[in-house]
Structure 1
Amino acid sequence: MYRITKEFHFSASHQLEHLPDGHQCARLHGHNYVVVVELASPELNADGFVRDYGELKPLKTYIDGTFDHRHLNDVLAVPSTGENMAKHFYDWCAARWPETTAVKVSETPKTWAEYRP
């Protein structure tokens, strides 16, 4: 199986209001997010790619226009946890690129959430 990944970055605020008072994530705060999309295929296309990285530019456009420097509580219909964001980006990517196999989201350099069906 051939696999490729591409990394995207954005900054945003959020607040997990459903958490109890005193929980650090219940307070308004922000992150410098990293989103990594993974695509895989058992065969390469005629150009020798799983998919040309340039074809993934719509994800950058989507992230920049919808998420970057936004308050995620105003963007997502579900709590803006890394797990929910990974699923959101996975669904968005899989609808465009059937080779999508996983999406990872990082809120900090030491934390990652992944959605992989």
Structure 2
Amino acid sequence: MYRITKEFHFSASHQLSHLPEGHQCARLHGHNYIVIVELASATLNSDGFVRDYGELKPLKAYIDDTFDHRHLNDVMDVPSTGENMARHFYDWCAAVWPEVTAVKVSETPKTWAEYRP
């Protein structure tokens, strides 16, 4: 199986107000997010790629237009946890590129959430 990944970055604020009072994530705060999309295929296309990295530009545009420097509570219909964000980006990507196998989201240098069906 061939696998490729591409990394995207954005900054945003959010507040997980459903958490108990006093929980640090219940307060308004922000992160410098990293999103990594993974694509896989058993075969390569005629150019020798799983998919040309340039074809992933629509994800960058979507992130820049919808998430970058936004308040995620205003953008997402579910709590803006890393897990929910990974699923959201996976669903968006899978609708565009059938080779998508996983999406990972990082809020901090030490934390990652991944959605992989």
TM superposition score normalised by structure 1: 1.00
Find the residue that maps to 1:51 and give its secondary structure.
Answer: coil
Aligned length: 117
Cα deviation for residue 115 of structure 1 reads: 0.0
User: What runs of 5+ residues in structure 1 fail to find an aligned partner?
Assistant: none
Output one character per residue of 1:58-113: Cα deviation in whole Å (capped at 9) or x when no partner: 00000000000000000000000000000000000000000000000000000000
Q: Determine what percentage of the aligned residue pairs are the same residue.
A: 88
Partner residue in 2 for 1:93: 93
The match for 2:84 is 84
Query: How far apart are the structure 1 equivalents of 2:96 and 2:11?
Result: 24
> 1:102 matched to which residue of 2?
102
- Deviation for aligned residue 1:44: 0.2
Q: Structure 1 counterpart of 2:60, which letter?
A: K
Q: Encode CA deviations 1:16-59: one digit per residue, 9 max, x unaligned.
A: 01000000000000000000000000000000000000000000
1: distance between equivalents of 2:43 and 2:107? 33
* TM-score, structure 2 normalization: 1.00
Aligned-partner residue type, residue 13 of structure 2? S
Aligned to 1:53: 53
Secondary structure at the counterpart of residue 95 of structure 1: helix
**RMSD over aligned Cα atoms:** 0.1
Residue 27 of structure 2: aligned partner: 27
Letter in 2 for 1:90: Y
**C-alpha distance in 1 between matches for 2:71 and 2:17:** 13
Q: Which runs of 4+ in 1 moved over 6 A?
A: none
AA aligned opposite 1:57? K
For residues 56 and 99 of structure 2, the distance between their equivalents in structure 1, rounded to whole angstroms, comes to 12
